[in-house]
Structure 1
Amino acid sequence: MYKRDVNATGTLPVIVTNNLALIPDNEVFIDIAKSKSLESLKKAESEDKYLILLVQKDKEAKEIKDLSDCYATGILARAVYVQDKSNYRKVKFELVVRVSVDEFDLETFEAKFKTKLSNFISTEEEAIYKKLLVAEVGDPLKTGDMFNNAHEITRLVKSDISVDEFINVLAYNLKVDTEKKHKYLETANIQKRFYFILDDIQGIKYINQLEQEINAKIQKSISENQKEFYLREKMRAIQDELGDKAIREQDVENLREKILAAKMPKATEEKALEELKRYSTINPSSPESTVSKTYLDFLVDLPWHEKTEEVSDINKAKEQLDKDHYGLEKVKERILEYIAVHIQTKKNPLSILCLVGPPGVGKTSLASSIAKALNKKFVKQSLGGIRDVAEIIGHRRTYVGALPGRILQGMKKAGVINPVFLLDEIDKLSSDYRGDPASAMLEVLDPEQNKIFSDNYLEEPYDLSNVFFILTANYLEDIPYALRDRLEIV
């Protein structure tokens, strides 16, 4: 008979296990089906049912090729209960003592071993370690999320079990990964295992505390949302009683007056009034109310008929360009020719003016001077890095956070239907899976198409034919080909 505190050597049959925590002073059930393991179990009956249990390193491997495939430390165990099943045997093992295996015969599945006993510690150390462990464990029944067998741990806390056994049982029942428990089999030294178990317990406590804090925050968030919903409903009811409907009606009436005063196209006005009717029926606390109000505000803020009286004197235009820019005679001459056609025909030329040159040469300031020369409002939108076609033609209102495109945003900023609109860095437009912004720009710039420009957010045609568009680019060759042949390059 082998004992946990007596040195021993010998040869015993071996069973190789997979992904199991084998720690002395505990019991484990193992299902045995492999022929070699069944033979070892049969041999153990002549050895007073003792054998060696080893753990293979690769838990996915179906068989081992030599001793190096297993961990160096195994455990001497005794089969205390065997139950025969249809195609395997269920065995309960008593785990007795750690052993180091020197030789392992794969033919006979027997191994030479030597026991690895725990080191001696003084009575004072024993008492201190036990006291610290009991304090760290606390009441296992209240902290059942740390141990698998809380009732057994509770019993041991109140018993006079040795620190060596206490650590072994705690480690075996600790709720950590099996691989993390293997250090308790490899290490016979009590002090080292004491620090292992303290570290693991504190780690579990930290994780549990973190989970509790997260759960508490989630619960608080849910409670706050429910509270907010309740208060909003109550506030709505109170506001109804206090005449909030009258305030809402006044808001709707103000919007109606703005829609009628905006002088929109008939179809657009009808759509706006229909949306206003829908807005008047939506609960003010509903997110849809904000979406609808934002859309209506955008509609009435867009310029539909307001325009500035432009200067029709080419000499004044020349004076303004000369005042703002010294030199650049050829450039200013080309620009004045372009402006002269615009003044003479009272229409925008079919080709769009495009100022090309390296950064810092004054393209933007030239465009601003043209606006001053013509007495027009000036607005600028940068196109650099745009890949999403929705940046040009807007998002559909069915999407959360939908916005109008940059063209209509610029028109709203200008406040008139005939500004000078600078589209900066047209050569930096690019396309990807979200669409081709360059193609969308054709609809903006083409005089035959921009009379009925369609923005996804607006959902109604918008007339851009009065806008004096100017483009800038750093490099001519980078301008999308579809746009290049429609431009007057300067």
Structure 2
Amino acid sequence: MTEKNNVQMPLLPLRGILVFPTMVLHLDVGRERSVKALEKAMLEDHQIFLAAQKDSSIDNPAKEDIYQIGTVANVKQMLKLPNGTFRVLVEGLYRGQIVEFTEDEELYNAEIEPIEDAHTSKNEEDALMRSLLKQFEQYIGVSTKLNKETYQTVADIEEPGRLADIVASHLSLKIKVKQEILETREVKERLQQLIQYISNEREVLSLEKKIGHRVKKSMEKTQKEYYLREQMKAIQKELGDKDGKTGDVALLKEKIDEANMPERISKIANKELDRFEKVPQTSAESSVIRNYIEWLTALPWTNETEDNLNIHHAEKILDQDHYGLEKVKERVLEYLAVQHLTQSLKGPILCLVGPPGVGKTSLAKSIARAINRKFVRISLGGIRDEAEIRGHRRTYIGAMPGRIMQGMKKAETINPVFLLDEIDKMASDFRGDPSSAMLEVLDPEQNSTFSDHFIEETYDLSKVMFVATANNLQTIPRPLLDRMEVISIAGYTELEKQHIAKEHLLTKQLEENGLQKGQLQLRDEALLKLIRRYTREAGVRGLERQLASLCRKAAKIIISENKKRVIVTEKQLESLLGKPLFRYGMMEEEDQIGTATGLAYTSAGGDTLAIEVSIVPGKGNLTLTGKLGEVMKESAQAAFSYIRSRAEKLDVDPEFYQKNDIHIHVPEGATPKDGPSAGITIATALVSALTNRPVKKEVGMTGEITLRGRVLPIGGLKEKSLSAHRAGITTIIIPKDNEKDLEDIPESVREDLTFIPVQHLDTVLEHALVGE
């Protein structure tokens, strides 16, 4: 190589790569300064200095971050890529060293001093070349990255320095090591370095090959062991050894034999067991089959508890657990009586409907206890998926039977009392309609062949006594409701609540709060006030909470004041529980004109409702206030129209509706009121106001009116009568058709009240208004 002078040229720092002289390769350039350096090189003589960075993570390297020795290269081609970077083809020419480094804002420039190879003895260099080629050939033999064609391109090179550079470019060495080779000027030393590196690399590659061979042998050994284990299992089976899968099969076989299944189910279970034996234990299907067999054996197929058909015993248990609720008790006793006579009866499907807290769920438990059956409860509130009832197909991962089959497994008998709690709160979405799936469960004609998607085989539910509970019948689909026998539990009367509080709730709360029976004494008048003024509900849940509060207060007094007992009277109730939360209607103190007392039925029982009528001169406007519902508004319109049509007979000015404005108001305007039983009360108040005849204060009334004055029947007579009795009313006007409901009213209340059955409004006015 001829001697070269120092050259000024642009500098391109390289990251993670190094270019040797005679190397031709592509580079991707993206940094702005590097691109400027390339552009300058292209505009001048196409020469650029390529130097590696000491740390490839630095974006803007300074002089000290770049190796001083690099390669002068010729830029052969420059192409802009779509992502904004440039792909450059460069060819290394010769080594160079930075003499002076100049950095401006746009690019790197450097004065480069060319470096020539230093030669020693030619014979020694030739010997080292041969050794290097031999080592390189052996290296290619063990390397997976280089092929024999690479060796052919290297073998024909005669110049030792060039050979060293090309071999170094083909080796997988770190940049630091390559830089050391690049900086070695003496060719002999460079050849020796490469021989050493190749020798080390060969040893590493040989070790890698040995390790790979060992891993392969180990894998083959594992496969061989698996095959031998399978053979061993077959031998164990022949020998009757119960270890491994053979033991599982024997255990499942034992369960199938003990499950007392019907013949068809037993055949299916044994068929699945044969499949389980043939499927490898490591297969996913093995666990699916096993799970299925275990469910088949866990379900009760023939196991049945013997019913206690003694009606007197059942009646005693039901009365012990619940006070009142006569209709439900009567239905259970009827079922027992019929079953006693027939010795075979499909399980009835009862639906207990009523407000929260009236004891629907606990009643189902009592039924199970009374007839000596197992009790199972599932909550249907919020269920949206049909698979919750019918189960999932076995093909799905994690498949399970539905809630019905899970309940039957829990019951362990085919004739439990099965409580379907909150059946009115089932919903439906894209996963199906669970209420439709319940149709098969609750249909006595279909449930003997109930099909669960997981079990697949039909299951007999006909002996199960299903009891459903609901708060609201309106949200239960009609086809589902049609399959059940609905028993309404309207709620408890005041007398019933008093009895329940004394006999059940107070005893329970005393025990829960650590009090002895005599440590808290609740007087009758205090208990009555507690029921009337501190709770307003159909059930007794709120009452139990208030009793629990009283027990806690009593416990505090006993401990802090060192008292032996706490006696709660009506006066002391306020100091313990605070001001009363509710008020209840009382009858008027004297006969009033334009005011009639109606009887209303609410979710918290019965109440009295005063209806007031005011007549002032005007143009015949009819105003209704008191937050009335549509039904009550229509009742008022009907009463108004009836009075207009009968004005002369009722001794009312026939033109009253043209000369006066009429205002009908029901007090407690913030409380919504609606229902078909206020017709005769509104009509009575209207006639009283128009004729100036007072309404008797002791008379309460309930009934709907037609345009012809007929009085139609109403519901909730028992609750309405109790509210009237509580308010001090002595006479109640009721529709003639409601006479049959009088027997539901407690005898103690009936004795204090006079009931007047009516068919027409004229009769109502005769008994309600003062005078003739």
| Shorter-chain TM-score range | 0.5 to 0.7
The aligned residue for residue 381 of structure 2 is 384
Residue from 434, 438, 441 that aligns with 1:437:
434
The answer as to 2:291 corresponding to 1:294 is yes
TM superposition score normalised by structure 2: 0.36
Evaluate the alpha carbon distance shift between residue 331 and residue 244 of structure 1 in structure 2; reply closer, same or farther with a 3 A threshold.
Answer: same
The answer as to 2:461 corresponding to 1:464 is yes
User: For 1:358-399, what per-residue CA distance to the aligned partner results, in whole angstroms no more than 9, with x for missing partners?
Assistant: 333322111111100010011111112222211111111122
Q: Which residues in structure 2 correspond to 1:188-267 (within 5 Å)?
A: 233=226, 236-237=229-230, 240=233, 243=236, 246-247=241-242, 248-267=245-264
Residue from 268, 277, 281 that aligns with 2:278:
281
User: For 1:248-271, what per-residue CA distance to the aligned partner results, in whole angstroms no more than 9, with x for missing partners?
Assistant: 334323323432333322222211
**CA shift for structure 1 position 438:** 1.3
Residue from 15, 26, 38 that aligns with 2:35:
26
Structural RMSD (CA): 4.6
2:450/2:459 contact within 8 Å kept: yes
The aligned residue for residue 324 of structure 1 is 321
Evaluate the alpha carbon distance shift between residue 24 and residue 328 of structure 1 in structure 2; reply closer, same or farther with a 3 A threshold.
Answer: same
The answer as to 2:371 corresponding to 1:362 is no
Q: Which residues in structure 2 correspond to 1:140-179 (within 5 Å)?
A: none
Give the whole-Å Cα distance in 2 for the aligned partners of 1:275 and 1:255.
11
Query: For 1:408, what is the secondary structure of its paired residue?
Result: helix
Give the whole-Å Cα distance in 2 for the aligned partners of 1:358 and 1:230.
67
Give the whole-Å Cα distance in 2 for the aligned partners of 1:21 and 1:404.
63
Give the whole-Å Cα distance in 2 for the aligned partners of 1:163 and 1:339.
106
The aligned residue for residue 312 of structure 2 is 315
Give the whole-Å Cα distance in 2 for the aligned partners of 1:310 and 1:420.
11
Q: What one-letter code is carried by the residue in structure 2 that aligns with 1:469?
A: F
Evaluate the alpha carbon distance shift between residue 251 and residue 21 of structure 1 in structure 2; reply closer, same or farther with a 3 A threshold.
Answer: closer
Percent identity of paired positions between Structure 1 and Structure 2: 50
2:63/2:101 contact within 8 Å kept: no
Q: What one-letter code is carried by the residue in structure 2 that aligns with 1:362?
A: G
1:232/1:285 contact within 8 Å kept: no
User: For 1:39-62, what per-residue CA distance to the aligned partner results, in whole angstroms no more than 9, with x for missing partners?
Assistant: xxxxxxxxxxxxxxxxxxxxxxxx
Evaluate the alpha carbon distance shift between residue 162 and residue 398 of structure 1 in structure 2; reply closer, same or farther with a 3 A threshold.
Answer: farther
**CA shift for structure 1 position 277:** 0.8
Give the whole-Å Cα distance in 1 for the aligned partners of 2:451 and 2:401.
11
The aligned residue for residue 409 of structure 2 is 412
The aligned residue for residue 186 of structure 1 is none
Name which one, 1 or 2, has greater alpha-carbon Rg: 2
Give the whole-Å Cα distance in 1 for the aligned partners of 2:65 and 2:353.
79
Give the whole-Å Cα distance in 1 for the aligned partners of 2:440 and 2:373.
23
Give the whole-Å Cα distance in 2 for the aligned partners of 1:371 and 1:297.
28
1:354/1:489 contact within 8 Å kept: yes
Evaluate the alpha carbon distance shift between residue 411 and residue 350 of structure 1 in structure 2; reply closer, same or farther with a 3 A threshold.
Answer: closer
1:371/1:377 contact within 8 Å kept: yes
Evaluate the alpha carbon distance shift between residue 400 and residue 382 of structure 1 in structure 2; reply closer, same or farther with a 3 A threshold.
Answer: same
Query: For 1:249, what is the secondary structure of its paired residue?
Result: helix
The aligned residue for residue 268 of structure 1 is 265
The aligned residue for residue 89 of structure 1 is none
**CA shift for structure 1 position 489:** 1.6
The aligned residue for residue 128 of structure 2 is none
The aligned residue for residue 481 of structure 2 is 484
The answer as to 2:370 corresponding to 1:373 is yes
Evaluate the alpha carbon distance shift between residue 285 and residue 164 of structure 1 in structure 2; reply closer, same or farther with a 3 A threshold.
Answer: farther
Evaluate the alpha carbon distance shift between residue 21 and residue 290 of structure 1 in structure 2; reply closer, same or farther with a 3 A threshold.
Answer: same
The answer to which of 319-328 and 373-382 deviates more is 319-328
Give the whole-Å Cα distance in 2 for the aligned partners of 1:382 and 1:333.
26
1:310/1:375 contact within 8 Å kept: yes
User: For 1:215-238, what per-residue CA distance to the aligned partner results, in whole angstroms no more than 9, with x for missing partners?
Assistant: xxxxxxxxxxx99x9799489459
TM superposition score normalised by structure 1: 0.54
Evaluate the alpha carbon distance shift between residue 239 and residue 484 of structure 1 in structure 2; reply closer, same or farther with a 3 A threshold.
Answer: same
Give the whole-Å Cα distance in 1 for the aligned partners of 2:273 and 2:467.
36
Q: What one-letter code is carried by the residue in structure 2 that aligns with 1:412?
A: K
Evaluate the alpha carbon distance shift between residue 334 and residue 371 of structure 1 in structure 2; reply closer, same or farther with a 3 A threshold.
Answer: same
Q: What one-letter code is carried by the residue in structure 1 that aligns with 2:302?
A: H
**CA shift for structure 1 position 132:** 9.6
Q: Which residues in structure 2 correspond to 1:4-43 (within 5 Å)?
A: 23-24=32-33, 26-27=35-36
The aligned residue for residue 455 of structure 1 is 452
Evaluate the alpha carbon distance shift between residue 232 and residue 290 of structure 1 in structure 2; reply closer, same or farther with a 3 A threshold.
Answer: farther
The answer as to 2:394 corresponding to 1:401 is no
Higher RCO (C-alpha 8 Å, min separation 6): 1
Evaluate the alpha carbon distance shift between residue 24 and residue 263 of structure 1 in structure 2; reply closer, same or farther with a 3 A threshold.
Answer: same
Give the whole-Å Cα distance in 2 for the aligned partners of 1:350 and 1:241.
50
The aligned residue for residue 52 of structure 1 is none
User: For 1:156-182, what per-residue CA distance to the aligned partner results, in whole angstroms no more than 9, with x for missing partners?
Assistant: xx967567669999xxxxxxxxxxxxx
User: For 1:92-116, what per-residue CA distance to the aligned partner results, in whole angstroms no more than 9, with x for missing partners?
Assistant: 9xxxxxxxxxxxxxxxxxxxxxxxx
1:438/1:482 contact within 8 Å kept: no
Query: For 1:321, what is the secondary structure of its paired residue?
Result: helix
Give the whole-Å Cα distance in 2 for the aligned partners of 1:167 and 1:328.
98
Evaluate the alpha carbon distance shift between residue 406 and residue 148 of structure 1 in structure 2; reply closer, same or farther with a 3 A threshold.
Answer: farther
The aligned residue for residue 88 of structure 1 is none
How many correspondences in the alignment? 316
2:352/2:469 contact within 8 Å kept: yes
1:393/1:454 contact within 8 Å kept: yes
Query: For 2:318, what is the secondary structure of its paired residue?
Result: helix
Give the whole-Å Cα distance in 1 for the aligned partners of 2:405 and 2:224.
38
Give the whole-Å Cα distance in 1 for the aligned partners of 2:477 and 2:304.
32
**CA shift for structure 1 position 151:** 12
2:422/2:468 contact within 8 Å kept: yes
**Structure 2: where are the runs of 5+ without partners?**
1-9, 11-28, 47-59, 68-84, 91-96, 110-218, 488-772
Give the whole-Å Cα distance in 1 for the aligned partners of 2:310 and 2:298.
31
Give the whole-Å Cα distance in 1 for the aligned partners of 2:263 and 2:427.
37
**CA shift for structure 1 position 337:** 3.9
Give the whole-Å Cα distance in 1 for the aligned partners of 2:315 and 2:86.
90
Give the whole-Å Cα distance in 1 for the aligned partners of 2:408 and 2:440.
16
Query: For 1:440, what is the secondary structure of its paired residue?
Result: helix
2:452/2:458 contact within 8 Å kept: yes
Give the whole-Å Cα distance in 2 for the aligned partners of 1:365 and 1:232.
61
1:341/1:349 contact within 8 Å kept: no
Give the whole-Å Cα distance in 2 for the aligned partners of 1:371 and 1:340.
16
2:347/2:466 contact within 8 Å kept: no
Query: For 2:350, what is the secondary structure of its paired residue?
Result: strand
1:357/1:474 contact within 8 Å kept: yes
